[in-house]
Structure 1
Amino acid sequence: MWNHKAWAGRFLPQSLPAKERLRAYAGWCNAVEGNTTFYATPARSTVVTWAQQAGAGFRFVVKVPKAVTHERRFVGVEAEMRAFLDAMEPLGQRAVLWTQLPGSFGPSEVDALGRFLRRLPADRRRAVEVRHPGFFTDHSSAALLERALAGADAEWVPFDTTVFFQSPPVSEAEQDAWAKKPRLPRRTRALTGQPIVRYLGRDSVEDTVAGWRPWTEVVAGWLREGRSPTVFLHTPDNVDAPALARRFHDDVRVLVPGLEALPEPEPVEPATLF
């Protein structure tokens, strides 16, 4: 997202029109999760404005609509997918098609997932997030999913919530996330040259930074292997997310000195970050 109300006056200019906020956000980070596409496919004209506000190296990881993944479970979704793919077309190869599946989607449905992924446009990157515990605890189920993903050159997106669930929630935002987020083991295996990671910290900046240290090592290793990862940093309230993302990037640069710095954002007043 790039419209978080807590960011105005801190990371984005206070008076910036909504249609210009992505451009400002792109000065802080070089990727974004397209979570809103899960709930409704935007007009193609809207996506054109997204494409115009972000540079050639910016990555859009856009979620496939829930009507396809959660409601229809890939059955009879041709019309919905045509509309979605047409709307996303202005993003070109900057877009990653992100298929997030519900916790009830288990190993018995992997064949349907594989068929769906193979029907996606060949020039679009694919990524899948699963939440069924069987994929993380049963070796044969994990291998089955990995084979299906390999057949479509798709990445397995881990959502690491292990740090978040190490201690009880202390804020309203954390209490809400405690009830809604999945509790799954950390997974650090990359399947493609462009792995994607989602990490959920705490509302406390110190706890979030301390918890991501294993990921800086993993991401640095991927970079040394020639991979090009995308990392999304979440907290339950996301108040400090842009600054945290830059801090994570800088921590990885310590381990991989040749890693390019993120773009320098234009100063925003007041400039209190933490």
Structure 2
Amino acid sequence: MEFGKLKDISTVDFKIPTDHYRNREVLSTGRNDGKGEIYFGCPSWTSKDWLGKLYPSKLKSAEFFENYTKHFSTIEFNSSHYALPSKSQVEKWVNESPTQFTFCPKVPQEISHWKRLDRVGVQLDTFMQTVAGFEKHLGCSFLQLPPDFGVESLSMLDSFLDRIPDQYPLSIEFRDPSWFEKNEAFEYITKRMEEKKLPMCLTDVAGRRDVLHMRLTSPIVAVRFVGNQLHDTDYVRMRAWAQRIAEWRAQGLEKIFFFLHQPEDRLCPETAVYFVECINDTCGVNLPIPKLYQSGIQTSLF
């Protein structure tokens, strides 16, 4: 993930910002038992660097997906951004998925980047029909706005939201700095999302701390965590996220989809191990910890 990547992170303040003032009220519309579901995963299941580490060393690529689902509960399904899978392929993945496994498909680039949400009714319907094939395995799909899609396009995004059914599991990731510089536009569009109960997608990345705006718009949220090759700050940040998630669950969080990125995919398994240990320790849950065959990196909390 190149967005927000920095060569030097020595001056970055990685502290998670305080919650938006609307968050507590938004979360109060969710669960009242403090047991919000926590899903975690990576942006891909195809890394050959995981052979002998997360996957058996001689595993065939056709078996990667099945093995991935043994360790993770969701997938940031980026491939749908470039081409939608066929109905038969979706059915195959669904049949191979454990009961609790979810897919979080990315909206096609034709909709978000090429046509920039303008006159995309046909394409949007096709996307929603395709991902509906995941049935109970559909997690939280997400719309990644282009990095130059700013407040000048507010009316286009506003009209686009009219096409999305209320409470549809489509989260939105804002990237253009103008959303955070001109607060009125951001407050307006996020209030619209809140009214429709559409989830938010937050990104925690070194070079763009503004996109970690901490505005929740429904009791469901997606977080894209971008590490720095397991630098010490990665561990600090994961502990902080575990604490924030615990607080959100106590306030009514229903579901969180937490995606673990690293500059090199080979480090995602170690990142996941530490994150799940933090979650289990802080939230008092017992999520299955990914099992590594070998790793040269210390990941344990203890």
TM-score by length of 2: 0.75
Alpha-carbon distance in structure 2 between the residues aligned to 1:206 and 1:29: 23
Offset from partner CA, 1:195-246 (integer Å, 9 cap, x none):
1111111113534212333322211111222312111111111212133123
What is the CA-CA distance between 1:82 and the residue it aligns to? 3.2
The partner residue of 2:57 within 14, 39, 48 is 14
Q: Tell me which of 114, 135, 141 is aligned to 1:71.
A: 114
* Match in the other structure for 1:128: 172
SS in 1 for 2:210: coil
In structure 2, the CA distance between the partners of 1:121 and 1:273, relative to structure 1 (3 Å rule), is: farther
Q: Do 2:69 and 2:97's aligned partners in 1 also have CA atoms closer than 8 Å? A: yes
Deviations 1:32-84 (A, max 9, x none): 10111111112121111221222232221110000001111122323323332
Superposition pairs of residues 1-274 of structure 1, within 5 angstroms: 1-95=44-138, 96-120=140-164, 124-162=168-206, 165=207, 182=208, 184-227=210-253, 228-257=255-284, 259-262=285-288, 265=291, 268=293, 271-272=294-295, 274=297
Conserved? CA contact 2:145–2:174, under 8 Å: yes
Secondary structure, counterpart of 1:231 in structure 2: strand
The answer (yes or no) to whether the contact 2:81–2:108 under 8 Å persists in 1 is yes
CA spacing shift, 1:12–1:23, aligned 2, 3 Å: same
Q: d(CA) in 2 for partners of 1:229 and 1:119?
A: 24
CA distance in 2 between counterparts of 1:21 and 1:98 reads 24
Check conservation: 2:193, 2:199, Cα contact below 8 A: yes
Q: 1:144 to 1:73 in 2, by over 3 A?
A: same
Indicate if the aligned counterparts of 1:160 and 1:184 stay in contact, CA closer than 8 A: no
The number of residues matched between the two structures is: 252
- Displacement, 1:185? 4.8
Question: 1:9 and 1:192 mapped to 2: Cα distance?
Answer: 40
CA RMSD of aligned residues (A): 2.3
Structure 1, unmatched stretches of 5+, are: 166-181
**Counterpart amino acid of residue 133 in structure 1:** P
Contact 1:99–1:129 (8 Å) recurs in 2: yes
**Distance in structure 2 (CA, Å) of the matches to 1:97 and 1:118:** 17
TM-aligned CA deviation for residue 135 of structure 1 = 1.9
Contact kept in structure 2, 1:114 and 1:151, CA below 8 Å: no
2:177 maps to amino acid: P
Alpha-carbon spacing, 1:189–1:83, altered in 2? closer, same or farther (3 Å): closer
Segment of structure 1 superposing worse, 135-144 or 203-212: 203-212
Supply the distance in 1 between the matched residues of 2:131 and 2:79 (Cα, whole angstroms). 13
| CA–CA separation in structure 2 for the residues paired with 1:13 and 1:121 | 42
Rounded Cα–Cα distance in structure 2 between residues aligned with 1:121 and 1:14? 45
In 2, the alpha carbon distance for the partners of 1:142 and 1:76 equals 23
- Equivalent-residue separation in structure 2 for 1:128 and 1:160 (angstroms): 14
Residue pair 1:97, 1:124 contacting (<8 A) in 2 also:
no
Deviation, structure 1 residue 122: 5.3
* Partner deviation per Cα, 1:156-187 (whole Å, 9 max, x = no partner): 2111113xx4xxxxxxxxxxxxxxxx563532
In the superposition, the TM-score normalised over structure 1's length comes to: 0.82
Q: Which runs of 4+ in 1 moved over 4 A?
A: none
